[in-house]
Chain A
Amino acid sequence: MNVALDVSNLTKRYGAMAAVNDLSFQVMTDEILGIAGPNGAGKTTLFDVISGLSLPSEGQIVLFGEDITARRADEICHLGLARTFQLNAVFDSMTVEENLLTTAYFGRSHRSFPGLRFDSQSRTDCDETLELVGLADLRRRPASELTVLQRKLLMLAGAIATSPRVLMLDEPVGGLTQDEIGHCAKVLRRVRQERGMTIVLIEHVMSFVTELADRVLVLHHGAKLYEGSVDGMTRSEEVVSAYLGASGLRAMKLATERQDHGATA
């Protein structure tokens, strides 16, 4: 088991406030790590810093042995880390297919001199991703005409098309119905199975986290509140009092029990 992502003593300050505070954790290859925590706990800031959209104030980030602490977002993408956003980020003026061709072409690896045509590798990546995510029938549809679920799947597909080794998802199922959430869980499980992907996901929808995550990291005020198994999280007093609350705890227990009894999504 290798370390896919190694974060050490990461701090991000805005003025006097530390949005991420001396955070250290590791993500193992092929595991799914869930990141939870109340709003304002610094989760999206953490993603921004790791994915290169923002520079850390202190600390180090290592991706498969390569230091990416001060690298640009596009470089980090080429090194194999792809992320999605809370606010839907797809290319609205293009069709589904064009979206994926573009991300596949530019995201797979660095291109000093882009060509005048999309190469066959990009077309293959695009087609395979469409199949994987289940959007193949919608390839000619303009992105602006998709439903909420389809947009989220497109954004996910856009990230997958860059052939990443680590996928970072920021609240992938926020605002979706129960059925839609189940659909997304199925897609993600298929992604991990067929591609062998390391996944880090931020999510408030606890059932989604418990279903998919091998381990969880709970943040509070930018610092680590808990890191460990999902089970352990429900038993941790700090997590319960700071984040879950009594009813949240009950919902979680219900979700874990459903899972234990072999209920499928």
Chain B
Amino acid sequence: MLGKNPQERDYRLLVLFLLGLGVIAALGPSNYLLGQAALYLIWAAVVTQWNLVLGVAGIMLIGHLALFAAGGYTVAMLGLYFGLSPWLSLPLAAVAGFVVAFLMGLATLRLRGAYTVVVTLAIAMAMYQLIVTDVECFRKTATACYSLTGGARGLTRFGDFGFTKLLGNGMAQTGNYLLAIVLLGLCMVVAITVAHSPYGRAFQALRDSEPASQARGIRVEKFQLIVFSASGVLTGLAGAVYAGTQRTFGPQVLEFPTLLFLLSIMIVGGRGHVWGPILGTICLALVKESLTSFAQWQNSTYAVLLIVILILAPEGLAGGLSRLAARFRPVHKEVSS
């Protein structure tokens, strides 16, 4: 229908989806909505990469947001101390994400399961602690004292993507939104390509059975490092886009509420499924926006939703939809053995 094979189908669906998102911008929604949407698109992008490691490859990476923070702080600090525009810092942020991911992959190379959880979590928490306890004056002005990483307050005034100049007055949020669409598009193209490629199959094999993978020629350590590092590149980039569009970056991204929100996106969407992150983001965004009057219970709501889906429908929205689609697809005449 949409394409001759699943991979083509996914690409075409993606193009349709991105075009649809773009069209929404032309309908002239408020700057507030555009800003919110951009934020959700960035989170969706992050989850597509986290999904590769935790979902497809089955590696229990919990500290994924450290990669995001690496990218964001790269943009913030290069902008603040060297006046570098976020556009120029983008590739550097991707490198930062890659480096942190590679190190994390190295540290957990021979570890499995709960040990991987603790080490990756500890790395993210160590990053958090170092930032939050950073109170020494690095820069002094007449009135205030600023620390190197901005401490608990985070960093601001490091520049932005300049959409006001590029697109016109009042178009900053539109520009941010469009950039976020490009980011998500890039992340999804990578996710779809990987999923159908030998790499994706190797990651899946790792998850399904490590001894069998090894016995069939897949070098486990190599592919573990590959999936970690690859996810770091685009996650770092996502952090950079976040910093440049939100114009602030702080250690809040490393706190539990953010972690839980993204985890909920992944699980509700369907862990390991290519379309899981987008479906999950749509669902969680709707939940979040409808909870504005119950803001203090929003974390619990995500948590309850996550638990319910995990226990009752572990394949998530994507799994459920694909099973529905399979029922409507023409059945191949198969000779049962």
Residue positions of A touching B, CB distance < 8 A:
51-53, 72-74, 77-78, 82-83, 85, 89-94, 98, 101-103, 105-110, 114-118, 134, 137-138, 140-141, 147, 150, 158-159, 162
Contact = CB atoms under 8 A, between A and B. Distances in A.
Contacts of A90: 208-209, 212
B168 interface: no
B272 interface: yes
B217 interface: yes
A118 B198 contact: yes
B4 interface: no
B216 A77 contact: yes
B215 A53 contact: yes
Nearest to A153: B337
Mostly helix, strand, loop or mixed at chain B's interface?
A: helix
Contacts of A73: 211, 214-215
User: Counting chain A CB atoms within 10 Å of each CB, which of B198, B205, B207, B219 scores highest?
Assistant: B198
A191 to B, nearest CB: 17
A73 B214 CA distance: 6
Interface in B310-336: 332, 334-335
5 contacts: A72-B219, A82-B216, A91-B205, A103-B217, A138-B334
Place the interface of chain B in its size category: 20 to 34
A39 B154 CA distance: 63
A82 B214 CA distance: 10
A93 B202 CA distance: 12
B204 interface: yes
For the complex of A and B, 10 pairs with smallest distance between CB atoms: A89-B212, A107-B217, A73-B214, A77-B217, A102-B201, A91-B208, A106-B217, A103-B216, A107-B216, A137-B335
A159 B220 CA distance: 17
Contact of B334 (A103, A140, A159): A140
Contacts of B216: 74, 77, 82, 102-103, 106-107, 158-159, 162
